[in-house]
Amino acid sequence: MTEGPTITTIAQRAGVSIASVSRVLNGLPTREDTVRRVMRAADELGYVPNSVARSLRNRRTDQVAFAMADIGNPVYVAMVREIQPMLKEAGYRLLIHSTDGDAEDELGVLRGLRERYVDGLIISPLRGVTEEHVRAIVAARAPVVVIGALPVGMPEGAPVDNVRTDSRTGVRLALDHLYAIGRRRIGFLNGPLDTVPGAARAAAYREALEALGLPYDEDLVEVGDFYRDSGARAARALLSRVPGLDALMCANDLIALGALDVLREHGRDVPGDVAVVGMDDTDLASVTWPTLTSVSLGSAERGRAAATLLLDRLQNGPREPRVTVVRPSLTVRGSTAVPGLPGTAGDGR
């Protein structure tokens, strides 16, 4: 495998020094004649600069990583879709880490920052930012944007920005809506409580019920995973325990899919017998039958915000940490559509 040409090869061919070659290729002021000779040699040799050598010298890799739990989750896909073009536009390549929600893996990514293979990182840690995460980030001294909750006690000067949504309000929006269409026995299918969204949504569910003057009933809550089959299992369990429930609040759209499967299986009409609300408002929500009312947590916006914050740091250097909050909103679709009631569509299901 013949090695490609380097600036040394070009220098020889053009009869100049490697310094001149480099200057020409980087557009630094050079005599017209030299420029021509170098350009000609470079063209003839089909020269392409070695990005690794350049990175070593320049101390930047022009690469950015995005670490998330699972690239199969439409939420993260939506983020990547926003992040990738923005980074490309700014001249950065994008690395993907799918950590499977494994805390060790997440830490590995953060620690990996010290290997300096990327200039910055966007991370969405499922299990939350621990003491150790923080230490790793500080030690890395590379800009990091965390999508999700950040602990209160971030040390001064850590190069960390934060993008978050307000899932508390999100859950609140959903329950208010369910209440408004007359539902009172509202089940809750949650994800693991040791994840950030899981914990937040559990608390939010309780709070929202209280605000509505509804009793909190442990029997109405089922905890599983953030996947479709897990959602189905949870829904089955919940339905057999509380056959009379009239609504299901699901901690994400995948869980809601599972719930819809089970409701259909049991011959329950949605939303007639049971209304269903998902969260994340993924592409799936407009595809299901009936289409799924879902709380949008602004995945695309969060992706954009994260990329914006990171690029700003990369391009303009250190500054005080920033936080961007994305407001949730409710998209009402068929799974809660009750004819004749305000704010709902009678068809569209």
List contacts with a copy of itself (CB under 8 A): 1-2, 4, 46, 48-53, 55-56, 61, 63, 71-72, 77-78, 80-81, 84-85, 93-98, 111, 114-117, 139, 141, 257, 283-284, 287-290, 318
To DNA, the closest distance from the beta carbon of 38 in angstroms equals: 9
**What single-letter DSSP state applies at residue 328?**
P
The one of a copy of itself, DNA, none whose footprint includes residue 23, by CB under 5 to 8 A per kind, is DNA
The one of DNA, a copy of itself, none whose footprint includes residue 6, by CB under 5 to 8 A per kind, is DNA
Q: How far is CA 166 from CA 225, 243, 303, in A?
A: 21, 31, 15
Residue 3 binds to DNA (criterion: CB under 7 A): yes
The one of DNA, a copy of itself, none whose footprint includes residue 85, by CB under 5 to 8 A per kind, is a copy of itself
Residue 129 backbone dihedrals phi, psi, to 5 degrees: -90, 110
Tokens read off for 272: 């007639």
Residue 8 binds to DNA (criterion: CB under 7 A): yes
Residue 278 to residue 301: CA distance in whole angstroms = 19
Residue 145 to residue 344: CA distance in whole angstroms = 38
The one of a copy of itself, DNA, none whose footprint includes residue 46, by CB under 5 to 8 A per kind, is a copy of itself
Residue 6 binds to DNA (criterion: CB under 7 A): yes
The one of DNA, a copy of itself, none whose footprint includes residue 69, by CB under 5 to 8 A per kind, is none
Measured from the CB atom, is 200 or 292 closer to a copy of itself? 292
To DNA, the closest distance from the beta carbon of 291 in angstroms equals: 53
Of 22-30, 91-99, 256-264, 332-340: span binding DNA (CB under 7 A): 22-30
Measured from the CB atom, is 46 or 340 closer to DNA? 46
Residue 98 binds to DNA (criterion: CB under 7 A): no
Longest Cα–Cα distance in the chain: 87
**Dihedral of the alpha carbons of 195, 196, 201, 203, in degrees to the nearest 10:** 100
What is the DSSP track for 222-268? EE--SSHHHHHHHHHHHHHH-TT--EEEESSHHHHHHHHHHHHHTT-
The one of a copy of itself, DNA, none whose footprint includes residue 84, by CB under 5 to 8 A per kind, is a copy of itself
Residue 61 binds to DNA (criterion: CB under 7 A): no
Among 12, 36, 58, 348, binds DNA (CB under 7 A): 58
Helix (H, G, I), strand (E, B) or coil at 67: strand
**Under 8 Å between Cβ of 324 and 281:** no
Helix (H, G, I), strand (E, B) or coil at 220: helix
Tabulate helix, strand, coil % of the chain (nearest 5): 45, 15, 40
Which residues make up the interface to DNA (CB under 7 A)?
3, 6-8, 15-23, 25-26, 29-31, 33-34, 47, 49-50, 53-54, 56-59
